[in-house]
């Protein structure tokens, strides 16, 4: 019996000669906000499309909410905001939500109050009778988000949900994700805006060349990533060797070294060691690595090309 909202096993997709996704294996727990990160061309979109049944995997398998891919009963409990949020723009917002609610199999009695509630949530109630072609990019994204939440889903896929939004809109998305989490909804978030991911996600997966290269709790990842800059005289090679016991990625540049350590608790020990080695310490500065720094550290700067 699985309790995973998403479980994939070596999911692979080839397009003719190209391998878009080499072998995606990951588990997303129910109720968590899961960030799906990677450079352009890493296979993120193809992966999401496979999970949603838009693209058939070449091999491998996966379950969503315990059901195999493409299961229609499971789909009734899944919400999806597509990346480019292109919708039938000759429909009004009201008609658009009605259409998608009906496709979810929702009754008119259930749909009507839900649409009111969602239009309020995304702030589009005054524009409910306007055709979508009159909407700005940000408004389209909001109505797309409302569409993805119509069925009060157990699992939501948000593909770049904030790319067209201003800061107010982004905060709205953040609040919505937090609210979804409170209700126990699982959110699968694909985003390039790492600052957003840092705020909202419980766990993140880094994907490159169509493979998961690292999955981690976001907190552990960020907490664990402290770098220390030491400015001192007397940093001899034996001292540098000795320092490497506390961390990795040691870089020395004259009187200054930078070292990535497990966490801040290493700092006093480093200081004691330096003093004992007769090093004259001028500064010992801890620095938190941002998710962006980590992204580049993990994925590399080659952009996955």
Partner 1 sequence: MPIFIIARLTFLEAVRRRILLAAFLLGVAFLLLYSFGFYMMRTQIGSQRPITNSVSETALQSGIDNFLTLAGLYAVNFLAIAMGALVSADTLAGEIGSGTIQALVTKPVRRAQIVLGKWLGFAGLLALYLVLMIGGVMAVAYALDGYVVPNVVNGIALIYLETLLIMTVTLMLSGMLSTLATGGVIFGLYGIAFIGGWVEQFGALLQNQAAINIGIISSLIIPSEALWRRAAYDMTPPIAQVLGAAFSGPMLTVSVPSELQVFYAIGYLVVILAIGVRAFARRDL
Asked whether position 76 contacts partner 1 by CB under 8 A, the answer is yes
Please state the closest distance from residue 85 (CB atom) to partner 1, in A: 8
What is the nearest approach in angstroms of partner 1 to the Cβ of residue 82? 4
- The answer to whether residue 67 forms part of the interface with partner 1 (CB under 8 A) is no
**Of the residues 6, 24, 28, 52, which one makes contact with partner 1 according to CB under 8 A:** 52
With contacts defined by CB under 8 A, name the span among 3-11, 52-60, 262-270, 278-286 that binds partner 1.
52-60
Left (φ > 0), alpha (ψ -120 to 50) or beta: where does 13 sit? beta
**How many other CB atoms sit within 10 Å of the CB of residue 28?**
24
Reading the block at residue 11, the tokens are 């999911």
Q: Is residue 68 a contact point for partner 1 (CB under 8 A)?
A: no
Other CB atoms within 10 Å distance of the CB of residue 16: 5
> Are 47 and 207 within 8 A, CB to CB?
yes
The correct pick among 61, 86, 272, 283 for binding partner 1 (CB under 8 A) is: 86
Cα–Cα distances in angstroms (integers) from residue 198 to residues 1, 86, 234, 257, 263, in the given order: 31, 27, 38, 27, 18
Q: Tell which residue, 75, 33, 78, has the closest CA to residue 182.
A: 33
Phi and psi of 112, rounded to 5°? -60, -55
Instruction: Choose the stretch contacting partner 1; rule: CB under 8 A; options: 76-84, 109-117, 204-212, 281-289.
Output: 76-84
Q: x/- binding map, residues 98-137, to partner 1, per CB under 8 A? A: -xx-xxxx--------------------------------
Select the span of 79-87, 197-205, 243-251, 276-284 touching partner 1 (CB under 8 A).
Answer: 79-87
Q: Tell me the window of 49-57, 121-129, 197-205, 239-247 that interacts with partner 1 (CB under 8 A).
A: 49-57
Closest to 228 measured CA to CA, from 299, 147, 146, 283: 283
What is the chain's Cα-based Rg?
A: 24
Enumerate binding residues for partner 1 (CB under 8 A). 15, 49, 52-56, 72-73, 75-76, 78, 80, 82-84, 86-88, 90-91, 99-100, 102-105, 144, 147
């Amino acid at each position: 019996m699985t309790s995973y909202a998403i479980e994939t096993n070596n999911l692979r997709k080839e397009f003719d000669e190209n391998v878009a996704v080499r072998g995606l294996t990951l588990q997303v727990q129910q109720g968590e906000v899961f960030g799906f990160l990677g450079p352009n061309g890493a296979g993120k979109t193809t992966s999401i499309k496979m999970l949603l049944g838009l693209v058939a995997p070449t091999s491998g398998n996966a379950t969503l909410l315990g059901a195999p891919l493409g299961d229609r009963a499971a789909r009734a409990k899944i919400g999806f905001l597509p990346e480019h949020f292109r919708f039938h723009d000759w429909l009004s917002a009201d008609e658009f939500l009605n259409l998608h609610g009906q496709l979810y199999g929702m009754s008119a009695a259930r749909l009507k109050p839900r649409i009111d509630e969602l239009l309020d949530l995304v702030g589009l109630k005054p524009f409910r009778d306007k055709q979508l072609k009159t909407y700005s990019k940000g408004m389209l994204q909001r109505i797309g988000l409302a569409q993805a939440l119509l069925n009060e889903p157990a699992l939501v896929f948000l593909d770049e949900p904030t790319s067209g939004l201003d800061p107010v809109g982004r905060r709205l998305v953040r609040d919505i994700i937090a609210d979804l989490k409170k209700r126990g909804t699982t959110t699968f978030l694909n985003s390039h805006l790492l600052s957003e991911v840092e705020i909202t996600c419980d766990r993140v997966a880094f994907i490159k060349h169509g493979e998961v290269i690292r999955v981690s709790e976001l907190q552990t990842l960020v907490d664990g990533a402290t770098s220390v800059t030491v400015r001192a005289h007397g940093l001899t090679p034996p001292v540098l060797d000795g320092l490497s016991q506390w961390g990795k990625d040691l870089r020395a540049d004259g009187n200054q070294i930078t070292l990535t350590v497990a966490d801040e608790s290493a700092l006093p020990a480093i200081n004691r060691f330096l003093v004992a080695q007769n090093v004259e310490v001028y500064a010992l500065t801890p620095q938190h690595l941002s998710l962006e720094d980590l992204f580049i550290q993990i994925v590399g700067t080659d952009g996955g090309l």
